Amino acid sequence: MKISAAFPPVPETPDHIVLAEELGYETAWVYDTPALQLDVWMILALAAVRTQRIRLGPGVLIPSLRHPMTTASAIATLVGLVGPERVIIGAGTGFTGRRAMGQKPLRWAEFPQMVADTQALLRGEIVEVDGRAARMLHWPGQAVERPIEVPWIVAVNGPRGLAAAAEMGCGVFTSRPRPDADYTGIDDVILLGFGTILDDEETIESPRVLDTAGPGVSVAYHAFLEQRDARLSTLPNADRFAEVTGDRDPDTLHLSLHEGHLTQLNAIDRQVLTPESLRIAPFVCHASEVPERIERLAAAGITEVAFQPMGNIERELQTFAAAAELQG
């Protein structure tokens, strides 16, 4: 099982990626959430010039947020800084990169072609964009030579997305794997994992645990609500969540729902989350429990865990690395 780390693009993230490399994490995934944090590519570039081993990539970029040529150029820039062997590209349909701006995620009918266009540009091919021919025209010395080949991962959960990922030859990135998920034909299955390692005498009722693991848990409530997913009713205190969000203006609900996404509990979250809610996170546990939990995930088809530290980031990276027995 590979153990990686995921980060929001905030000013301290390059420092945290340096620490993640020192601790032995495989990859640093950085979110593409411009309505919530900073620019993913700038943060990745800052981390690139300060690290030597750890793989780097957006986890996950939203193709519609930029012209495909802009995305191709950004990828070429990162490859030029660290080499293709240290770059991996994640792409998704837009939870929460689009949801946080009140937009629906991209349709699966459109998404694979958006990825394919960027991949073709990186190979040096001509693609049609906005009705006109486009190709990377960078001369030698202006960018790394084409073709630029890097692995791609797509963020999916349902059977349609998994089938599309297999057809595209991509791995998958998921935060909520379904029990019936079929990963046949997919080599890389990455779980975005939330939680916190409890101190020896600490329990799940600790305020620190709620503040640290809660932002990751709340994402399930947000996603199921916006997707109108019946699984929302299975979450602890779901009735209270429906009551709180039902009182909000639907035209602006997304603005308050996504505040603090994966970093802080917002006003809605604090009215809903309970210690029982935290049990849905895969890594709210003591250090001794982590190896067995990783084994269970591997048996379910997960090949990599991308742990996102929250709260005291240094403490979370260090305790999880120790529990997962990483070699720094």
Q: For CA atoms 257, 258, 260, 263, give the dihedral sign.
A: positive
- Residue 296, Cβ density class (10 Å: 0-12 exposed, 13-18 middle, ≥19 buried): exposed
The string of pLDDT tens digits covering residues 234-269 is 999 999 999 999 989 999 999 999 999 999 999 999
3-state secondary structure of 198: strand
Q: Token pair of 124, please?
A: 């040096």
Which two structure tokens, joined as six digits, stand for 216? 């990751």
**What pLDDT digit, counting tens, does each position of 171-220 carry?**
999 987 777 888 888 999 999 999 999 999 999 999 999 999 999 999 99
Residue 112: CB partners within 8 Å, gap ≥ 6? Answer: 164, 167, 168
Question: 23: Cβ–Cβ under 8 A, 6 or more apart, which residues?
Answer: 317, 318, 321, 326, 328
- Whether 184 contacts 300, CB under 8 Å: no
The answer on pLDDT for 96 being more than 90 is: no
Mean pLDDT to the nearest integer, 97-105 = 91
pLDDT of residue 175: 86
Q: For residue 107, what pLDDT is reported?
A: 87
- Which of 64-73, 150-159, 257-266, 271-280 shows the lowest mean pLDDT across its residues? 150-159
Cβ–Cβ under 8 Å, residues 242 and 207: no
Helices 207-226 and 238-246: crossing angle in degrees, nearest 10, is 70
- Over residues 269-294, mean pLDDT: 96
Within the chain, which residue ranges are assigned CATH 3.20.20.30?
Answer: 2-194+284-323
Name the one residue in this structure whose structure tokens are 């990599």.
304
- Options 3.40.50.720, 3.40.50.2000, 3.40.50.300, 3.20.20.30; which CATH number does 2-194+284-323 get? 3.20.20.30
Q: How many Cβ atoms sit within 10 Å of the Cβ of residue 305?
A: 25
Which backbone phi and psi does 35 adopt, to 5 degrees?
Answer: -75, -15
Residue 159's pLDDT band, with cuts at 50, 70 and 90, is confident
Structure tokens at 254: 């997304």
The pLDDT value recorded for residue 181 is 83
Has this prediction a pTM greater than 0.75? yes
User: Model confidence over 8-66: pLDDT tens digits?
Assistant: 999 999 999 999 999 999 999 999 999 999 999 999 999 999 999 999 999 999 999 99
68-93: average pLDDT: 97
CA atoms of 247 and 114, how far apart (whole Å): 37
Each residue's pLDDT tens digit, 283-324 = 999 999 999 999 999 999 999 999 999 999 999 999 999 999
Rounded CA-CA distance 146/139 in Å is 10
Give the Cα separation of 105 and 96 in Å (integer): 8
- Helices 111-122 and 159-168: crossing angle in degrees, nearest 10, is 20
**Distance between start and end Cα atoms, the chain:** 16
Query: What is the reported pLDDT for 328?
Result: 84
Q: What is the DSSP string of 129-186?
A: ETTEEE---PPBTTBPPSP----EEEE--SHHHHHHHHHHT-EEEESS--TT---TT-
How many angstroms separate the CA atoms of 256 and 234, rounded?
A: 23
Task: Flag the least confident range among 157-161, 217-221, 224-228.
Answer: 157-161
- DSSP for residue 26: S
* C-alpha neighbours within 13 Å on the C-beta side of residue 100: 19
